[in-house]
Copies of this chain bind each other. A is one copy, B any other.
Amino acid sequence: MTTISILGGTGHEGSGLGLRWAKAGHTVIIGSRAAEKAQAAAVELNAKLGVEAVRGLDNVSAALAAEIVVLTVPYSAHVSTLESVREAVQGKIFVDVTVPLVPPKVSRVQMPAAGSASQEAQNLLGPNVKVVTAFQNISAEHLKDSDHPIECDVLVCGDDKEAKTVVIQLAADAGMKAWDAGPLANAVVAEGLTSVLIGLNARHKVKSSGIRITGIDR
């Protein structure tokens, strides 16, 4: 079992993933800019779990303490959080869940100059960090109910094959089918797809549209 830190893990997406990973037996650390906020979120998750499996730390301490670091912050906090943990994540697997949404037009794909949020992360963290992207299309709605099946596949992009294999297994541990979707350059598809799904949600008055890969035995 692995120690996973979820930076920005006090939000819906991060705490939903944390809940599912803790339930699968992983050691989960919730990170936040303020340690107290992270601790409060951990208390809440432990109450749901019925065991003391989650603790809360400030983002930098959380990043230092884990083998795998997951980033689930709003895009507005992306660069500042990356800068704060750059040293702490060297040599590690860094799972960027960030979607570069630009309010108010969140259903419109608007990528940053680097090409994608995760390319921005790779540029900023440097070549020794194994940046992998995943989970951008998973609605937080169903994540926090850990018995709810997730009807959305996960596209995993990154330039390190082994790191992708680890993340595909982490997705399975959280009840999701994940696929190796190619190099980090392909992350623009997964990040942009979130805007497409937000638009579909609005037009069809649903909360969690998703995608499934077809044509391959599951």
Contact = CB atoms under 8 A, between A and B. Distances in A.
Contact of A214 (B155, B180, B211): B211
B151 A179 contact: no
A209 B214 contact: yes
Given A188-B188, A189-B189, A196-B189, A182 B107 contact: yes
Interface string A75-117: 0000000000000000000000000000000011111000000
B216 A182 contact: no
A195 interface: yes
Interface string A176-218: 0001111101101100110110011001101111111111110
A152 interface: yes
B212 A208 contact: no
A185 to B, nearest CB: 5
For chain A, which range describes its interface: under 10, 10 to 19, 20 to 34, or 35 or more residues?
35 or more
A133 B107 CA distance: 17
B209 A211 contact: no
A151 to B, nearest CB: 4
A52 to B, nearest CB: 34
A89 B104 CA distance: 34
Contacts of A189: 109, 188-189, 192-193, 195-196
Contacts of A196: 155, 181-182, 186, 189
Interface in A115-174: 139, 151-152, 155
B214 A214 contact: no
A213 B185 contact: no
Nearest to A182: B199
7 contacts: A109-B182, A151-B214, A182-B195, A188-B189, A192-B192, A204-B217, A209-B213
